[in-house]
């Protein structure tokens, strides 16, 4: 399984894009950087987009993707919770700012929505995916993704503290977890249900206490303005935990199973 970080931040600039992971086989997790990262031919190879929650930076490329697909009479499956469905299939997001691509073009709608439920595993292409509720906004889900060879990773999407129930249910090889703000903004991170290095450290210590190990760790959803500050602080966390923590950047490629 290959994982490509199309977007690894929470803000878009010339060099940074919002959270978006592309898996081998044409499956994408979150839609923060699809159309700005892929060629038309690559867009036509996509099979599914799985959305963690309905905050704009995670869904923004859904209509832009659909516009490209509609002209080529291509379709893609969209997976998300009922809360996500209420946003992406209704005006103004669908049928307002853009046409309703869940019904257009009539002969082959560009988008097909599939509702997912936290705790209920579903199949998507060659993957088994378990959505699990994480402490962020309404109905935000992280995803445990397993390939046919049994290799797995967990993507938290956006999350705050309080992941103990999630840790109990997973044993991934790789943990892709958000890291949004520096330690001096820990209070803001906590109130907005995001993580700072010190909050992340507490969650990782709890993981190791509950599971007896730490998986490979990669962070994303970093605020570009604070990136250098966060990098220094997370390196200190890694040293205290005697592990490696990699801050993702756009274009990073990881492989599981090799």
Give the residue-averaged pLDDT of 165-171: 98
Is pTM beyond 0.85? Reply is: yes
Distance CA 217, CA 215 (A): 6
Distance CA 160, CA 199 (A): 8
Using omega within 30 degrees of 0 as the cis cutoff, is the peptide bond preceding 105 cis? yes
Q: What is the CATH number of the domain that holds 40?
A: 3.60.15.10
Confidence of residue 47 (pLDDT cuts 50, 70, 90): very high
pLDDT in tens, 63-116: 999 999 999 889 999 999 999 999 999 998 888 889 999 999 998 899 999 999
Within 8 A by CB and 6+ apart from 56, the residues are none
Whether residue 258 has pLDDT greater than 80: no
Strand order in the sheet with 2-7: 111-115, 76-80, 48-50, 27-29, 20-23, 2-7, 253-255
Could you tell me the residue range of the domain that residue 123 belongs to?
2-255
Give the residue-averaged pLDDT of 10-16: 97
The helix or strand, by DSSP H or E, that contains position 65, with its residue range, turns out to be helix 62-71
Whether residue 62 has pLDDT greater than 80: yes
Contact 201, 191 (CB under 8 A): no
Instruction: Look at the chain and report how many structural domains it folds into.
Output: 1
In the chain, what's the furthest Cα-to-Cα distance?
Answer: 58
Residue 7: strand, helix, or coil? strand
pLDDT of residue 65: 97
pLDDT in tens, 197-212: 999 999 999 999 999 9
């Amino acid at each position: 399984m290959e994982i490509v970080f199309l977007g690894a931040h929470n803000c878009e600039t010339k060099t940074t894009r919002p959270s978006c992971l592309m898996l081998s086989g044409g499956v994408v997790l979150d839609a923060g950087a699809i159309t700005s990262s892929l060629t038309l031919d690559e867009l036509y190879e996509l099979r599914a987009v799985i959305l963690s929650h309905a905050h704009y930076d995670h869904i923004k490329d859904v209509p832009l993707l659909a516009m490209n697909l509609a002209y080529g009479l291509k379709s893609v499956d969209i997976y998300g919770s009922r809360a996500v469905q209420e946003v992406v299939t209704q005006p103004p997001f669908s049928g307002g700012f853009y046409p309703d691509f869940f019904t257009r073009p009539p002969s082959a709608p560009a988008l097909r929505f599939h509702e997912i439920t936290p705790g209920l595993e579903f199949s998507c292409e060659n993957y088994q995916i378990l959505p699990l509720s994480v402490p962020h906004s309404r109905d935000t889900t992280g995803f445990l993704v397993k390939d046919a060879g049994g290799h797995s990773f967990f993507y938290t999407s956006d999350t705050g503290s309080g992941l103990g129930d999630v840790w109990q249910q997973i044993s991934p090889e790789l943990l892709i977890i958000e890291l949004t703000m520096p330690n001096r903004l820990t209070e803001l991170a906590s109130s907005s249900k995001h993580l700072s290095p010190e909050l992340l450290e507490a969650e990782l210590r709890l993981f190791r206490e509950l599971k007896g190990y730490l998986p490979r760790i990669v962070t994303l959803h970093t605020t570009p303005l604070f990136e250098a500050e966060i990098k220094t602080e997370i390196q200190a966390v890694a040293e205290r935990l005697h592990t490696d923590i990699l801050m993702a950047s756009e274009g990073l490629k990881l492989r599981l199973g090799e």
